[in-house]
């Protein structure tokens, strides 16, 4: 198993408000290291760019097309999403500037 890949997946899910509670401790511990902090910053920067109404270098409607393609993808076979995970976490909803 690629531990660094798993940690990056956890941090990505945490930044999206989709990390299961069981993995929270591992993700938070990863942010104590330089690699974890760098990944966390990168995922937030990516999110900020994708949510920006005038994102540089992206064609009009890019974020909407990306969201639609991601929604159409099948879940990874190693874990099925539960109904509670399908709903956005309250923190994720509050931090989304488009939801205000």
Tens digit of each residue's pLDDT (9 = 90 or more) over 32-69? 999 889 999 998 888 887 777 776 777 778 878 888 99
pLDDT of residue 79: 53
CA angle (77, 86, 50) in 5-degree steps? 95
Q: What is the CB-side half-sphere exposure of residue 8 using CA atoms within 13 A?
A: 10
CA angle (28, 29, 33) in 5-degree steps? 110
The answer to whether residue 82 scores a pLDDT higher than 70 is no
The predicted-structure confidence for 2-34, as pLDDT tens digits, reads as follows 778 888 899 988 888 889 999 999 899 998 999
- Comparing C-alpha atoms, which of 5, 7, 50 is closest to residue 32? 7
Helix (H) or strand (E) holding 48: helix 34-51
- The residue written with tokens 């929604």 in the block is 71
CB 78 within 8 A of CB 31: no
pLDDT of residue 51: 76
pLDDT of residue 64: 83
The answer to whether residue 97 scores a pLDDT higher than 60 is no
Q: Which of 5-9, 24-28, 74-78, 84-88 has the lowest mean pLDDT?
A: 84-88
């Amino acid at each position: 198993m690629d531990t660094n890949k798993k940690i990056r997946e956890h941090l990505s899910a945490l930044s999206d408000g989709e990390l299961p509670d069981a993995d929270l401790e591992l993700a938070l511990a990863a942010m104590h290291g330089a690699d974890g902090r760098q990944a966390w910053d990168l995922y937030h920067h990516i999110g900020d760019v994708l949510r920006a109404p005038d994102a540089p270098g992206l064609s009009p409607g890019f974020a909407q097309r990306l969201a639609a393609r991601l929604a159409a993808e099948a879940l990874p076979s190693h874990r099925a999403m539960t109904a509670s995970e399908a709903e956005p976490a309250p923190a994720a909803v509050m931090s989304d500037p488009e939801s205000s």
